[in-house]
Amino acid sequence: MYKIALTGNIGTGKTTVAKIFESLRIPVFYSDYQAKELYKELKVKKKIIESFGVDIIDVNGNIDLQLLSKLIFADKKKLEIINELTHPLVFEEFDKWASQFNYEKYVLLESAIIFESPIKYKFDKIITVFSPINTCEERIIIRDNINKIEFEEKYKTQLEQEFKIKHSDYTICNDGSKSLIEQVIEIHKKISSF
């Protein structure tokens, strides 16, 4: 079984692409969802409180995800703290999850930050989804209900799309000029023929 990473900057449409792979019956692990689940674990919560203070806890005793997002995208050091804490745990969960699909040709891990992490070496192939930055901006402003400045703060924490494209095994262009489904099927056929 091959382990394939699906990545791309915020707003490029990774989740949409992941859903197309799922429609082809490919198991997909959503790392953002898993990270949020980890925040509920006591040991992880304690480490986040140690790094960010008790104000990071909301009235229900959970990590305040909106506040955490604002803090980490405004301060690179805080983003590094969260990444160092969650990346190894998320990948550990991915490994456990993937082990139940040994009969599959491949599984996918969907994450915005593959190249920004040492986990990039743990994948057999990397697929990058890319879109024009103005399209990404429009999508994220609507999805997250944020303004242009907040989008720019989030966007600048990620590597340039050109770098990710250059260092990927496959790319998917999500600018409306090509069918996403056709691009996914083409990559699926290539990986399935290994």
Would you kindly state where each structural domain of the chain is located, as residue ranges?
A: 2-192
SS3 for 13-25 is: CHHHHHHHHHHCC
Q: The tokens of 178 are what?
A: 């090509």
For residue 22, give every residue at least 6 positions away whose Cβ sits within 8 Å of its Cβ, in sequence order, or none: 28
Give the C-alpha separation, 115 to 182, whole Å: 25
pLDDT score of 118 more than 80: no
Listed as own residue / partner, the contacts of 58-64 with beta carbons closer than 8 Å and 24 or more positions apart are 63/39
> What pLDDT, on the 0 to 100 scale, is given for residue 153?
87
Give the C-alpha separation, 6 to 29, whole Å: 10
Q: What is the CATH number of domain 2-192?
A: 3.40.50.300
For 47, left (φ over 0), alpha (ψ -120 to 50), or beta?
alpha
> What pLDDT, on the 0 to 100 scale, is given for residue 92?
92
pLDDT score of 177 more than 90: yes
Give the C-alpha separation, 14 to 110, whole Å: 7
- List, for residues 120-131, the tens digit of each pLDDT value: 888 999 999 999
Q: Which amino acid is at 188?
A: H
> What pLDDT, on the 0 to 100 scale, is given for residue 79?
87
The alpha helices in the chain, defined as continuous H runs, are 14-23, 31-38, 42-52, 65-74, 76-98, 133-144, 148-155, 161-166, 180-192
